[in-house]
A and B are shown apart, each in its own frame.
Chain A
Amino acid sequence: MTISVDTIKQIIRPYGDTTGDAMVQVSFTLPVPQGPRAESAALQLAGKMGLEPASVVHTKAMGPDFTFFIVYGKVTHLIDYAGIVVPEGREYELLTPQQVNLAIRSVLGRKLVVVGACIGTDAHTVGIDAILNVKGFAGEKGLEYYREIEVHNLGAQVEVDELVAHAKDANADAVLVSQVVTQKSAHIHNTKQMAGAFTDAYPTSLTGGLGRPLLVVGGPRFDTVSPSDLGVDRIFGKGTTPGEVASYLVAALIPTWSPA
């Protein structure tokens, strides 16, 4: 094996003010009183993190039991940049609300209609509300906040027939269903039943977004099944933010649009 110059150049270290100086800064808190022993502990931690040599440039007692540290150090790790694989990421691009609105306005030329509900006996609207309410989740506003998205939030314990009827009435582009309760696999049964009802109600549909609304289900316990198992177009898991859902809707329903 020959080592080419190119390959060598791909070995990188952090940059402070000189190539290869490998300097980084970190800050952290240790649950111990301030003092020389705490400082030694911080240096030991820095060493174990790969900072060698390291120096504690600031310590501050936060009450009697905690100490805050700012540490600078030379990191001993090397990164082979040539060997870094670009992460695959989500299959759609994450868009800002402005981009989502622009996509809908410029391509659809009308509002994108989303109907959301908790179906069956599930009364846990936390998930669907986090995605739909303006209040949103994790610092992101919900879909109601998007000017170009028309949201119909039907709330909890909605019957599947009612959901289908409302989706037809509203001419829904997408149906969002949240399922939290998992007793006796209720979330799986409910979702399959819902998907079946939409297939029956839109017999000529080819797929989600073509002849029938896109079917999107969310909940914390769908990790063992695939969308095709359930008959839906997409499953979202725990921690999904409204922006991810909105971006997915654009990617799935307006595939010709790109932010560039």
Chain B
Amino acid sequence: MSKLGLDQEVVAKARRLAARAAEPIIEMARTHTTVSVERAVLRLAGVTGADADGTPWVNRIVDAVRAQVGLERGIALPVFHALREHQDPRELVRARFEVPAGAQAVRAGKRAREAVARGIARIDANRADRDRLLGKHGNPDMPWIYLIVATGDIYEDIPQAQAAAREGADVIAVIRSTGQSLLDFVPEGATRQGYAGTYATQENFRLMRAALDEVSGELGRYVRLTNYASGLCMPEIATLAGLERLDMMLNDCMYGIIFRDINPKRTFIDQRFSRQIHARAGIVINTGEDNYLTTADAVDAAHTVIASQLLNERFGHEAGLSDAQLGLGHAFEINPDLPDSFRLELAHAQLVRELFPDAPLKYMPPTKHMTGNIFAGYLLDAFFNLAGVLTGQSIILIGMMTEGIHTPWLSDRDLALENVRYVRRAAGALAEDFHPAPGGFTVERARQVLSETVDLLGRVADDGLLTAIADGTFGVTRRPADRGKGLDGVIEQADGYYNPATEILEERP
């Protein structure tokens, strides 16, 4: 039931425009591959480990194949053809590769598919395990409380994450080391040194998931684990998340482009594959629209958030994600000095809720207007919590009054949880009493943002999404399609391109 009385015709039009804007990008992603997509295929096929310099074998093999025969037909055929003679990755990197043809290609393709299918079977088994553990430990009611740990050392992160879970967190996110998104390889092993975060590695994923399984049993509720499928290795990190039963992944369609200057084509191709993996793994993605509001003004740019959510939804659906896997992001970032700032926040949050009724929306706390005045920050966080209750948000990232000062202390987290608990207890089911007056400020504001969204999506659909990104439409930053990091890792598929992972993922769940 709409509290805002949204015109469903306008909503349908916005979706049609988003689909039209997304279509050329989807077509591009279908017809191209990247070095990271191909490395993800090898990871699914069971290639693990790194050489003595720490370069993963998947990178060595993909680079060797690319240098000898190119990647236009994919990694699977040349590698599985060469595997007749070389089993060990250490030998494989020195192999002479060729792209097999005829019966040899059929044989190599079959073996590649079998190997990749084993990786996907492990992802399927993890999904079944999650369902089983949700039944056994219990699935917490929404909204889920989402807390962050970020020490840089996985062995420090573990007790902190367990403590956060005991304090009430339903979701633990391990922040990644600064700059990992720009690494064109995934580091190996358990890591103890990061910058303002901990490296995403398969072993770190495994250690943290095991630690949270332990605490889930103790608490009688399944504690979810989140990481970041973003940056140059998005497809591989998504794959590792599926292999190690992570539960949610940050995975935005444009974040890396805008905030990390990663090439737009690279990002969209990598993203499609990573979302196909997430869809299969039952992973909830979290999109990053909240970030736009840290650069652009939260009132002026409100419609860019909605436009991006509709694009993320379209790209997500196309890749196989269900509505229940679309953790679309938005944020409470309006300048508190503005008159009616809270009503504006409510209008935006309720609009998102009604546009995506079945999506587990991720609502982000204030960051931009948090100052060193922790007392004022605590108050602002309480209003954020109230907005979340009133508008039925699903995943609440808990605001810290020390935001922007330091990574949260134990006491910061505890006070933040006290804040959200009070607001929830005091407000109860207040959402059922929240009915903005028809024709009033809140309803009109939501209508205006939706109408601006339709205008924007119309322009994006006409001019092309890549042009819109190049013009700085999202997050005010201009990103031309032929610039940015990772473009040299983009390869157009040739006739006979074979990717067993995509083949399996597109068949059926």
Q: Which residues of A contact B (CB under 8 A)?
A: 27-29, 60, 62-63, 66, 68, 125-126, 129-130, 133-135, 137, 139, 141, 144-145, 147, 153, 155
Chain B window 470-498, contacts with chain A (Cβ cutoff 8 Å), 1 for yes, 0 for no: 00000111000000010000000000000
Q: List 24 A-B contacts (CB under 8 A).
A: A27-B411, A28-B411, A29-B409, A29-B410, A29-B411, A60-B414, A62-B410, A63-B163, A63-B166, A68-B414, A126-B178, A126-B179, A126-B195, A133-B259, A133-B260, A134-B258, A134-B259, A134-B295, A134-B477, A135-B260, A144-B261, A147-B476, A153-B261, A155-B485
Q: How far, in angstroms, from A135 to B195 measured CA to CA in the complex?
A: 14
- With a cutoff of 8 Å between Cβ atoms, the chain A residues found around residue B178 in the complex are 126, 130, 137
Q: How close is A68's CB to chain B, nearest CB, in angstroms? A: 5
B167 on the interface (CB 8 Å rule)? yes
- Looking across the interface, which residue of chain A has its beta carbon closest to that of B415? A68
A130 touches B485 (CB 8 A): no
Q: Which of B167, B477, B485 contacts A144 (CB 8 A)?
A: B477
B26 on the interface (CB 8 Å rule)? no
- With a cutoff of 8 Å between Cβ atoms, the chain B residues found around residue A153 in the complex are 261
Q: How far, in angstroms, from A63 to B159 measured CA to CA in the complex?
A: 12
Q: How far, in angstroms, from A18 to B218 measured CA to CA in the complex?
A: 51
- With a cutoff of 8 Å between Cβ atoms, the chain B residues found around residue A145 in the complex are 295, 476-477
Chain B interface size range: 20 to 34
Q: How far, in angstroms, from A137 to B295 measured CA to CA in the complex?
A: 14
- With a cutoff of 8 Å between Cβ atoms, the chain A residues found around residue B125 in the complex are none
Interface of B is mostly: helix
Q: How far, in angstroms, from A62 to B413 measured CA to CA in the complex?
A: 10
| Given A133-B261, A147-B476, 4 further pairs, Cβ under 8 A | A63-B167, A68-B415, A135-B260, A155-B485
- With a cutoff of 8 Å between Cβ atoms, the chain A residues found around residue B409 in the complex are 29
B:94-153 near A, CB below 8 Å: none
- With a cutoff of 8 Å between Cβ atoms, the chain B residues found around residue A125 in the complex are 179, 182
A129 touches B182 (CB 8 A): yes
- Looking across the interface, which residue of chain B has its beta carbon closest to that of A64? B166
Q: How far, in angstroms, from A141 to B475 measured CA to CA in the complex?
A: 12
B404 on the interface (CB 8 Å rule)? yes
- Looking across the interface, which residue of chain B has its beta carbon closest to that of A141? B295
A139 touches B179 (CB 8 A): no
Q: How close is B167's CB to chain A, nearest CB, in angstroms? A: 7
Answer whether A62 and B295 are a contact pair too, CB < 8 Å, given A129-B182, A130-B178, A153-B261: no
- Looking across the interface, which residue of chain B has its beta carbon closest to that of A151? B261
- Looking across the interface, which residue of chain A has its beta carbon closest to that of B418? A60
- Looking across the interface, which residue of chain A has its beta carbon closest to that of B259? A135
A139 touches B404 (CB 8 A): yes
- With a cutoff of 8 Å between Cβ atoms, the chain B residues found around residue A141 in the complex are 294-295
B404 touches A134 (CB 8 A): no
Q: How close is B196's CB to chain A, nearest CB, in angstroms? A: 9
Q: How far, in angstroms, from A28 to B409 measured CA to CA in the complex?
A: 10
Chain B CB within 10 Å, residue with most, of A130, A134, A137, A139: A134
Chain B window 175-204, contacts with chain A (Cβ cutoff 8 Å), 1 for yes, 0 for no: 000110010000000000001000000000
Chain B window 155-180, contacts with chain A (Cβ cutoff 8 Å), 1 for yes, 0 for no: 00000000100110000000000110
- With a cutoff of 8 Å between Cβ atoms, the chain A residues found around residue B166 in the complex are 63
- Looking across the interface, which residue of chain B has its beta carbon closest to that of A27? B411
